[in-house]
């Protein structure tokens, strides 16, 4: 890998979360919840995770010229993230409305705002920043054509491209050949591969289909079960770390950020997945999105205690 720098291009949202005993069904009002507000968005969550876990991180998103956008950028700066390339839009900053139930399951509605104003032309203006990175980490809360352009520039420059295809959507076939590592969950991998993923065997089959489409490596995350790591050298299942989960909101984002850091440090794909598994297991024991992301010291301490 030519550089340890991690560039995250993606979404920034303000999360408004209500925690209650149950998730509301359509047409139902659930009373008695507790409200909190914090910074979120898959791109931002992954950037914060990568920074707290030891990465050299630059984050590029698009926010509105409003209080939500200003507060978000200020928060990223306080984390020590390079925010010098963040873009501004005439659209309002993104917001997410999150419901979390007593068993830590969640449902999320997003008003994307400025995130959907992030264009391929914006990415072309970031070409020099992309070419200087060692790893480019992408998600799908900004337009797919923008993600495609970023992946293309990075791949053609020898940058290691990681795509977390969430939320799930139809991807152009062209993008697969630009992806060094794809990190979908069970649902996303099943939709992309046309295979119902429910266990290790079906996960491995789905990964083989995705690699056949041109992806370099695939890690399918399977929640409390663990993750299936697949490369040209073979496949290995990494079991989860059993913990009392209370909120899964940013677990996947923590995993992706942690994995990027480990790879930037030269760890193997397997060892990076093990590191990410520990980091995400800590996140689910805490409430909130970015608030739940552990530090490198916390993660290393858990790893050391298990040796």
CATH number, domain with residue 44: 3.40.1190.20
Strand partners, 82: 58
Domain range spanning residue 178? 5-294
Could you report the per-residue pLDDT of 20-39, keeping only the tens digit for each? 999 999 999 999 889 989 89
Beta strands 62-64 and 87-89: pairing type?
A: parallel
Q: Which of 228, 176, 225 is nearest to 201 (CA)?
A: 228
List, in order, residues 6 or more apart from 204 with CB less than 8 Å away. 228, 230, 235
Each residue's pLDDT tens digit, 122-179: 999 999 999 999 999 999 999 999 999 999 999 999 999 999 999 999 999 999 999 9
Whether 305 is in a domain gets the answer no
- Token pair recorded at residue 114: 């400025």
Q: Does residue 302 lie within any of the structural domains?
A: no
Query: What's the whole-model pTM score?
Result: 0.92
In a domain, 299, yes or no: no
C-alpha to C-alpha distance for 194 and 245, rounded to whole angstroms: 30
The predicted model gives 66-70 an average pLDDT of: 96
**Highest mean pLDDT, choosing among 75-89, 107-121, 189-203:** 75-89
Residue 301 resides in a domain: no
Residue 196 maps to a domain: yes
- 15 labelled catalytic: no
267-285 pLDDT, tens digit per residue, is 999 999 999 999 999 999 9
Active-site hit among 15, 199, 253, 300 = 253
| Residue 307, in any domain of the structure | no
Mean pLDDT of 257-265: 98
Return the H-helix or E-strand segment holding 94.
strand 94-100
Number of independent structural domains in the chain? 1
Residue 109 is predicted with a pLDDT of 86
Residue 260 covered by a domain: yes
Q: Average pLDDT of 217-230?
A: 96
Report the pLDDT value the prediction gives residue 2, as an integer from 0 to 100: 57
Residue 180 placed within a domain: yes
Task: Give the model's confidence band at 69: pLDDT under 50 very low, under 70 low, under 90 confident, else very high.
Answer: very high
- Does residue 98 register a pLDDT over 90? no
């Amino acid at each position: 890998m030519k550089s340890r720098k991690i560039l995250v291009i993606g979404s920034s949202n303000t999360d408004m979360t209500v925690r209650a005993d149950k998730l509301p069904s359509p047409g139902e009002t659930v009373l008695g919840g507790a409200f909190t507000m914090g910074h979120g968005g898959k791109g931002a969550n992954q950037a914060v995770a990568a920074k707290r876990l030891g990465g050299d991180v630059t984050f590029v998103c698009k926010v509105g010229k409003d209080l939500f956008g200003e507060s978000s950028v200020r928060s990223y700066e306080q984390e020590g993230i390079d925010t010098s390339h963040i873009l501004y839009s005439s659209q309002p900053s993104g917001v997410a409305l999150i419901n979390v139930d007593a068993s830590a399951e969640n449902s999320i509605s997003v008003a994307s705002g400025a995130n959907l104003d992030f264009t391929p032309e914006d990415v072309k203006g970031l070409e020099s920043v992309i070419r200087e990175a060692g790893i480019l980490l992408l998600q799908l809360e900004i337009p797919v054509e923008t993600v495609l352009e970023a992946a293309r520039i990075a791949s053609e420059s020898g940058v290691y491209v990681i795509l977390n295809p969430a939320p799930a959507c139809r991807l152009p076939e062209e993008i697969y050949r630009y992806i060094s590592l794809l990190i979908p969950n069970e649902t996303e991998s099943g939709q992309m591969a046309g295979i119902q993923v429910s266990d290790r065997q079906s996960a491995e089959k789905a990964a083989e289909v995705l690699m056949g489409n041109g992806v370099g490596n695939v890690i399918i995350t399977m929640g409390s079960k663990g993750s299936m790591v697949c490369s040209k050298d073979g496949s290995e299942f990494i079991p989860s770390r059993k913990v009392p989960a209370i909120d899964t909101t940013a677990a996947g984002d923590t995993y992706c950020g942690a994995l990027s850091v480990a790879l930037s440090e030269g760890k193997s794909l397997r060892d990076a997945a093990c590191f990410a598994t520990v980091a995400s297991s800590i996140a689910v024991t805490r409430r909130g999105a970015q608030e739940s992301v552990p530090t490198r010291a916390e993660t290393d301490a858990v790893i050391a205690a298990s040796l």
